[in-house]
Amino acid sequence: MRSSRENIHISGAERLLDFDQLEEAMSEMIQRALVHPRGRAAKICLTLETVASQQVRRAPLLSLSTLQVKSWQEGRQRAVDLLIALGLERQIVENAIAQLAAGPAPQSGVMRGAMLIDATTGQRLEPDQARGVRVSRMDIEPQAQKEVRQFLPAQGLASQRITEAWVLASKVALAPQVIAELCWSDDPDYLTGYLASRQNGYQRITHLKKAGSPIGGRIFFIRSRDNLPALIDFLQNSPILFYPPEVQGV
Ligand code: AMP
């Protein structure tokens, strides 16, 4: 689902479901587009595509942790330090974050998908800077959905938003070319963001943006521009269902 008003992105959502779950999921998505904190959508696009079940790969979710910080400035500093520890150069990280914070789409707007940053040159690699790259065709596997829905509230975490981001980040981290992902929401009221990587898992950071800001987005730090079309194809098209990480006893 993708919703907009006057060509401005309002919200989006991606699911990978059995046929019998479709109706409920679609009406829930429409509802979400109509009551979003970024405003009411004037246009909602729903795209349904069939995926053969033999093509669907299974993988574990990343481990989940939360880093408590007191301000968005501290949160961003933590994110920069963690990215440097993953081998990225400070200047490239700070420059990418500055682009995201300023509104990474043309006219300083919000992108519909993610920025791709070449970790060696700092260059942006996404073919379209308004659209970015949208990760799609991923979900929690049906038999684990109830378990995951119960696990998050038990940790004091609201489940739907986190589940969707956790699933997205877990798919992105499966791509060997991706070093890490940094995200904060475009929802003006939602200040928690995350850093995700294969090494450190899905690390929520309690403040990554200023309260009230409608600017958010995602940055995928990529090892190099080699095999870029294959990476984009994987992120957009490869169907993956996730199961809970065993270590957390979900
Ligand atoms: P959200 O976490 O839904 O508030 O989204 C924050 C930002 O992440 C959006 O403004 C988009 O730029 C980006 N984004 C949202 N969904 C996706 C997706 N499926 N794939 C890549 N980027 C996304």
pTM for this model (two decimals): 0.94
Output the six-digit token pair for 184.
């904060």
**Which residue puts its alpha carbon closest to atom 23 of ligand 1?**
113
Output the six-digit token pair for 239.
């169907």
Say which DSSP state 139 is in.
E
Q: Is 191 touching ligand 1 by the criterion CB < 6 Å?
A: no
Q: Is 193 touching ligand 1 by the criterion CB < 6 Å?
A: no
Sequence-distant (6+) residues with CB within 8 A of 214 are 38, 110, 186, 188
Give the model confidence (pLDDT) of 125-184 as tens digits.
999 999 999 999 999 999 898 888 888 888 888 778 899 999 999 999 999 999 999 999
Buried b (16+ CB within 10 A) or exposed e, 75-106: bbebbbebbeebebeeebbeebbebbbebbbe
Q: Is 111 touching ligand 1 by the criterion CB < 6 Å?
A: yes
218 CA from centroid of ligand 1 (Å): 6
Taking the C-alpha atoms of residue 160 and residue 196, their distance in angstroms, rounded to an integer, is: 18
Q: If the chain, 250 residues long, is cut into consecutive pieces of 10 residues, what is the mean pLDDT of each piece?
A: 89 93 92 87 94 96 96 98 98 98 93 96 96 96 88 81 95 98 94 97 97 96 95 98 73
Taking the C-alpha atoms of residue 86 and residue 176, their distance in angstroms, rounded to an integer, is: 14
Q: Is 105 touching ligand 1 by the criterion CB < 6 Å?
A: no
Q: Is 10 touching ligand 1 by the criterion CB < 6 Å?
A: no
| Long-range contact pairs involving 48-53 (C-beta distance under 8 Å, separation at least 24) | 48/22, 51/16, 51/137, 51/239
For position 8, what pLDDT does the model report?
84
Atom of ligand 1 nearest to the CA of 111: 12
Q: 220 with 181: CB under 8 angstroms? A: yes
Taking the C-alpha atoms of residue 70 and residue 58, their distance in angstroms, rounded to an integer, is: 37
Which residues sit opposite 3 in a β-bridge? 11, 44
**Best of 32, 38, 45, 112 for a ligand 1 pocket test (most atoms within 8 Å of beta carbon):** 112
Q: Is 110 touching ligand 1 by the criterion CB < 6 Å?
A: yes
Q: 237 with 99: CB under 8 angstroms? A: no
**Which residue puts its alpha carbon closest to atom 2 of ligand 1?**
185
